[in-house]
Amino acid sequence: MTIIIDGKEISKKILAEIKAETKLLYDKYEVKPGLAVIIVGEDPASKIYVKKKRQTCESLGFYSESYDLDENISEKELLNLISDLNNEPSIHGILVQLPLPKHLNEKKILEFIDYEKDVDAFHPINQANLFSGEPSILPCTPFGIIELLKRYEIKIEGKHAVIIGRSNIVGKPLSLMLLKENATVTICHSKTNNLSYFTKQADILISAVGKPEFIKADMVKENSVIIDVGINRLDTGKLVGDIDFENVKDKTYAITPVPGGVGPMTISMLMKNTLITCKKLSF
């Protein structure tokens, strides 16, 4: 029987653990994890993500500040706000929702966030720490994937993990995290020749491409573990991952569905990062 990895359930458990620890922190030290969420402009998808993050903060008993900024805000104004938040002791995490409007230099803005409050882990210092094998803050989606594997007691050490996708937010950091867990890691991308040669060798296959039903049953190894990071909206409105789930699932030992797999983990790990930075900065 294939294990369907229930990211929704694990995510709920993690949030419950965070909530309990938040209460303890407050009862004992009157400290609350504080997250500032900044959104610039009116991108509808970004607005939904930000709303969910704010609601989750509230449900956990976090302190949160919201900044809905005008599309035309200047870079200087945004940097001034970040500077204030960097210096604000009640704020332990600063999140700038991406993408930003074109006139704003994304790299410059993300690098301006105090790396100790960089709960998305996009700052070069956090990336470098991950690279050196001594991570400080972990990027949320890869962190969620590792957590899913661990909570399902899926052995990583010694396994061949094949990642499809080399983005800075998923593929690259995940490769370093799996390496730290002693997996043998292969990274594939759009220029990889004979992709299925690699995918068929994977004990753990992670797809972060963004193409519906991209991975077919004949591309995966029997009894492998499949993690589907892809989020693709079909013309019918249906949400699907990168894996041809119905045809692949019976061949696998365990697989994440879309929706309800990796997706719900990302926000939980953001909250976990805020709790971690709160403890680090408060004591």
Pick out residues in 91-110 that bind ligand NAP (CB under 6 A).
Answer: none
Instruction: Give yes or no for residue 208 binding ligand NAP (CB under 6 A).
Output: yes
Which residue in 7, 8, 70, 74 sits closest to 39, CA to CA? Answer: 70
Q: Least distance (Å) from ligand NAP to the CB of residue 190?
A: 3
Q: Which is nearer to ligand NAP, 135 or 171 (CB)?
A: 171
* Number of residues located near ligand NAP, criterion CB under 6 A: 24
Instruction: Give yes or no for residue 229 binding ligand NAP (CB under 6 A).
Output: yes
Q: Which is nearer to ligand NAP, 61 or 210 (CB)?
A: 210
Q: Which is nearer to ligand NAP, 87 or 190 (CB)?
A: 190
Instruction: Give yes or no for residue 142 binding ligand NAP (CB under 6 A).
Output: no
> What kind and span of H or E run contains 274?
helix 263-282
The SS3 of residue 221 is coil
Contacts for 155 with CB less than 8 Å, ≥ 6 apart: none
Which residue in 174, 239, 15, 102 sits closest to 23, CA to CA? Answer: 15
∠200-202-205 over CA atoms, to 5°? 105
- Per-residue CA distances from 240 to 169, 244, 261 (Å): 20, 9, 11
Q: Which stretch binds ligand NAP (CB under 6 A): 57-65, 87-95, 230-238, 270-278?
A: 230-238
Q: Which stretch binds ligand NAP (CB under 6 A): 39-47, 54-62, 159-167, 249-257?
A: 159-167
The SS3 of residue 13 is helix
Q: Which residues are catalytic, by number?
A: 53, 97, 120
Q: Least distance (Å) from ligand NAP to the CB of residue 226?
A: 14
Rounded Cα distance, 41 and 79, in Å:
16
CA 108 to chain centre: 21
Task: Return the structure tokens found at 195.
Answer: 């992709």
Q: Which is nearer to ligand NAP, 34 or 212 (CB)?
A: 212
Which residue in 183, 187, 185, 184 sits closest to 195, CA to CA? Answer: 187
Q: Which is nearer to ligand NAP, 31 or 163 (CB)?
A: 163
Q: Which stretch binds ligand NAP (CB under 6 A): 44-52, 63-71, 117-125, 183-191?
A: 183-191
Where on the chain is the footprint of ligand NAP (CB under 6 A)?
141, 164-167, 169-171, 188-192, 195, 208-210, 229-232, 262-263, 266
